Amino acid sequence: MGEEERVAALATAQQVLGVTFRKPQLLEQALTHRSLLKEAQQNRESNERLEFLGDRVLGQVVAEHLFRQHPDWSEGQLTKIKAVAVSEATLGTAARELGLGDLIRMARGEQQSGGRDRSSILSDSLEAVIGAIFLDRGLRAARLFVLGALSRQLTRIEEQQQGKDYKTVLQELTQERHKTTPHYRVIEERGPDHEKTFVVQVRVRSRLLGTGVGRSKKEAEQAAAREALEKEEPSA
């Protein structure tokens, strides 16, 4: 890429992200996937160090947002919702909405294998951009960018929690932690047909996470998911 193309690409990236950099080279590094450096045999840095920094800034901003917006939520609720909000799946969706995939500099092979739409690359690159903004413009600018970029996702996640959609929250958490979804199974039906009570267990792989009771299967599943979320964070 020639110098004029490089400058034009960085100008486009700043316009897409809505941030003007004092040091555009930080943004360039944030958008450089390690595959490009391997392919070109360059000694320049990829976005991995900025990703490390951005991950910490992102966590702080989201934790502060949830803490201030939801004074009635317990520490456990805050921890679990934050985990969903900063997950690879959530960040990947936010990055797609920003059009970040088109801005990332990567090797041709990585691009041909679908790298521009891969959640792991998108989420890492978004964190790197956050790190670059923090270094270039400070915490306030990074906070504004994070809350803007994740606005739709944060609203959806918070509404699900407030609406007590425990199944959705648990599913997103287990997808992030274990790359799989929870499985619900009716283990008992009590009472006559017109007054049945269902007992449901929810598991991830073979591990029992919670048990719920309800007048319908859906109600029992929600109760099981709630118990799972109220326990320690699910682990493999």
- Name the residues annotated as catalytic: 55, 127
Q: Are 31 and 128 in contact (CB under 8 A)?
A: yes
Q: Cα–Cα distances in Å, from 96 out to 5, 92, 151?
A: 23, 6, 13
CB contact burial 32-42 (16+ within 10 A = b; e otherwise): bbbbbbeeeee
Gap between the Cα atoms of 51 and 30, Å rounded: 8
Strands (E), 42-196: 183-190
Which residues, at least 6 apart from 137, have a Cβ–Cβ distance to it below 8 Å?
A: 19, 21, 22
**Chain centre distance of CA 88:** 4
Q: Mapping DSSP to helix (H, G, I), strand (E, B) and coil, where does residue 197 land?
A: strand
Question: What type of residue is 16?
Answer: V
How many CA atoms, within 13 angstroms, populate the side-chain half-sphere of residue 71? 1
Residue 189 tokens, joined:
């039906």
Gap between the Cα atoms of 183 and 77, Å rounded: 22
